[in-house]
Amino acid sequence: MRLALLGGTGDIGQGLALRWGYNTDRELLIGSRDPEKARNKAEEYTTELESRGVEADIKGFENAMAADRADVVICSVPAYHLVETIEAVADRLDDDTVLVTPAVGMKRDDGGLHYNRPGAGSVTALAADAAPDSVALVGAFHNLPAGRLADLDATFEWDTVIVGDDEDAKEIVATLAEDIDGLRALDGGGLGNAAEVEAVTPLLINLAMNNEGLHDLGVRFQ
């Protein structure tokens, strides 16, 4: 299964790419609006993994080319770039492509970070509206701290809640999530539940900022 990480040069894209490269033998395509930046990051990730004795298959492409070649496309871009990124690659998505978004809308004030719920109900809903009707959209990886995810020396026991209306697509994404050591996938129901999942992210960041020893805080449901 070939995975494309659009915006894979950013924080969450880097973390997911390195973990999948380290824990699996899946082919990874790093996407960016700038193909040279994508290629440079792909080389950087490859070098990091080679230093740990892992031979990974990672290549860099412009976003649309990465999406065109992939079975699963993860839009690892900030919420304010999500719709335009999906619209830019929409004609490259096949009916059997699974589209994934971890994006969360947040706003900051003097008190900290807060969930910025869009009129569509959630950022995941915005992604679903932008995607072709025939493409299954899944929300996942919303609450993962990117810094610790990208630190291959770090271990963790985290959950990621997966939401979507296509059960087969959710199963695919759950399998990909659990390919990462220490990550457990939990079924959060349909896309209508995405706002509740997204809203956890600013809570975790606020806790990390205000409590010593909680840097790079993830979540585990027990």
Task: Give the tens place of pLDDT for each residue, 159-181.
Answer: 999 999 999 999 999 999 999 99
pLDDT at 73 over 90: yes
Give the pLDDT score at 171. Answer: 98
Average confidence (pLDDT) over 47-68:
97
- pLDDT at position 154 is 96
Q: What is the pLDDT of residues 77-93, one digit of tens each?
A: 999 999 999 999 999 99
Tokens of 177: 């999530």
User: What secondary structure, in 3-state letters, does the chain show?
Assistant: CEEEEECCCCHHHHHHHHHHHHHCCCEEEEEECCHHHHHHHHHHHHHHHHCCCCCCCEEEEEHHHHHHHCCEEEECCCHHHHHHHHHHHHHHCCCCCEEEECCCCEEEECCEEEECCCCCCCHHHHHHHHCCCCCEEEECCCCCCHHHHHCCCCCCCEEEEEEECCHHHHHHHHHHHHCCCCEEEEECCCHHHHHHHHCHHHHHHHHHHHCCCCCCCCCCCC
Give residue limits of the domains in the chain.
Answer: 2-210
Kindly state the average pLDDT of the residues 150-160: 97
Per-residue pLDDT for 218 more than 90?
Answer: yes
* Average pLDDT in the chain: 97
Please state the separation of Cα 153 from the chain's center in Å.
Answer: 20
Distance CA 156, CA 165 (A): 29
Q: Summarize the confidence of residues 8-23 as an average pLDDT.
A: 97
Share of the chain above pLDDT 90, in %: 98
**Per-residue pLDDT tens over the stretch 100-109:** 999 999 999 9
pLDDT average, residue stretch 18-30: 97
Among 84, 181, 97, CA closest to 138: 97
Residue 38 has pLDDT above 90, yes or no: yes
Average pLDDT value for residue range 67-72: 97
> At residue 196, does pLDDT exceed 90?
yes
Nearest CA among 187, 64, 186, 191 for reference residue 123: 191
On the question of pLDDT at 18 being above 90, the answer is yes
Nearest to 143 by CA among 82, 99, 179, 184: 184
Instruction: Count CB-CB contacts under 10 A for residue 141.
Output: 27
What percent of the chain has pLDDT above 70?
Answer: 100
pLDDT of residue 147: 93
* Structural tokens at position 16: 């997911």
Asked if pLDDT for residue 215 goes beyond 90, the answer is: no
Assigned CATH topology for domain 2-210: Rossmann fold (3.40.50)
